[in-house]
Amino acid sequence: MTRHLLKAEIHCHIEGATPPALAATQARKYGVDASKVLRDGAYVWSDFSEFLVCYDAVAALFKTADDYALLTETYLLELAAANTIYSEIIVSPDHGDRIGLGADAYLAGICDGIHAAREKTGIEARIIVTGERHFGPDRVISAAEYAARAKNPLVTGFNMAGEERMGRVADYARAFDIARDAGLGLTIHAGEVCGAFSVADALDLVKPSRIGHGVRAIEDPALVERLAELGTVLEVCPGSNIALKVFPDFDSHPLKRLKAAGVRVCINSDDPPFFHTSLAREYEIASGVMGISDGEIDEMTRTAIEAAFVDEATRAKLI
């Protein structure tokens, strides 16, 4: 049992944290027929491309700042109830723009949710602005520019999510230059749907301190060694990887092998209800299914805090 363990995560997409019951409520509220993506209390998709379409459809059910405040608070209260002290939330201003809410109101709603949850439980959270790769390089650059000028104390990082098979990292490198120059922490989805080359591209061209997933680095032993030497933290999301068929089962998942090779890894939920999981369940899987000891799980939680995009005073309080 891992209930008693302190937990932290640094990789969860806000719309991806929508409980299906909340999605159904939102659909009713706005008179939207969501039956293509939500059936019998579960999201409907069958591969990575369909997952991204489903994600965007669920995102479109949140139309106001208050909707986003409710979603964010709901997600954080569930985490806090499971002994979680810290979360980094991946948010996409493009989703705010797409529903006509606008990025500022979108972000304000998410900040309200963070403040409300912190007030009630003490849970700490920060925001990572992400560009969506499948919206193209120009949109990803706009997201970086938005993050750079946001000057919001809760916005501390920049990421790129979405369709990893679209273009090469080089096409998006400028967005990361903008975010780096603004002092934001950098992380990037790589080595999830694409292989080791994608992780190598990310290291060469973005030089992030962390990589979202990165698990397919396991296909290249020299790259695994390089990650260990650099101390790059992999935000590993085992349940997501199995649901999206990156690996066939938890036995073949490389979390333990990466850790044994000296790579810094931590446990994350990614888009929990889409993958029938939660952060608490991911910790349970690490313990009960993968056979990782409580001590090693604690070490991964510490890694998440060490890699968190927070100021040193906050980090010291969390560790």
Residues touching ligand ADE, count (CB under 6 A): 10
**Annotated binding residue 271:** yes
Q: 273 Cβ partners below 8 Å, 6+ apart?
A: 16, 17, 18, 19, 20, 43
Interface characters, 253-292, with ligand ADE (x: CB under 6 A): -----------------xx---------------------
SS3 191: coil
Angle in degrees, CA 109, 17, 307, rounded to 5 = 85
Distance in Å, CB of 294 to ligand ADE, minimum: 27
- Residue environment code for 177-204, b if the CB has 16+ CB neighbours within 10 A, otherwise e: ebbbebebbbbbbbbbbbbbbbbbbbbe
Q: Among candidates 27, 99, 5, 22, which has minimal Cα distance to 273?
A: 22
Distance in Å, CB of 193 to Zn ion, minimum: 11
Question: In this chain, which of 7, 13, 139, 210 binds ligand ADE, going by CB under 6 A?
Answer: 13
What sign for the dihedral angle of Cα 276, 278, 282, 283?
negative
Binding partner of 301, given ligand ADE, Zn ion, none, CB within 5-8 angstroms per partner class: none
**Annotated binding residue 13:** yes
Distance in Å, CB of 6 to Zn ion, minimum: 22
Looking at beta carbons, which residue is closest to ligand ADE?
A: 161
CB-nearer residue toward ligand ADE: 15 or 73: 15
Chain contacts with Zn ion (rule: CB under 5 A) = 270
Question: In this chain, which of 43, 45, 55, 68 binds ligand ADE, going by CB under 6 A?
Answer: 55
CB-nearer residue toward ligand ADE: 16 or 214: 16
Judged by phi (left if over 0) then psi (alpha if -120 to 50, else beta), residue 40 lies in left
Q: Among candidates 88, 178, 198, 193, which has minimal Cα distance to 137?
A: 178
The answer to whether 192 is a known catalytic residue is yes
Q: Among candidates 18, 35, 33, 29, which has minimal Cα distance to 64?
A: 29
**Annotated binding residue 189:** yes
- 95 touches ligand ADE by CB under 6 A: no
Residue 66: other Cβ atoms inside 10 A: 14
Catalytic residue among 15, 132, 164, 192: 192
CB-nearer residue toward ligand ADE: 9 or 271: 271
Active centre residues (catalytic): 192
- Chain contacts with ligand ADE (rule: CB under 6 A): 13, 16, 55, 161-162, 189, 192, 240, 270-271
Binding site residue list for substrate:
271
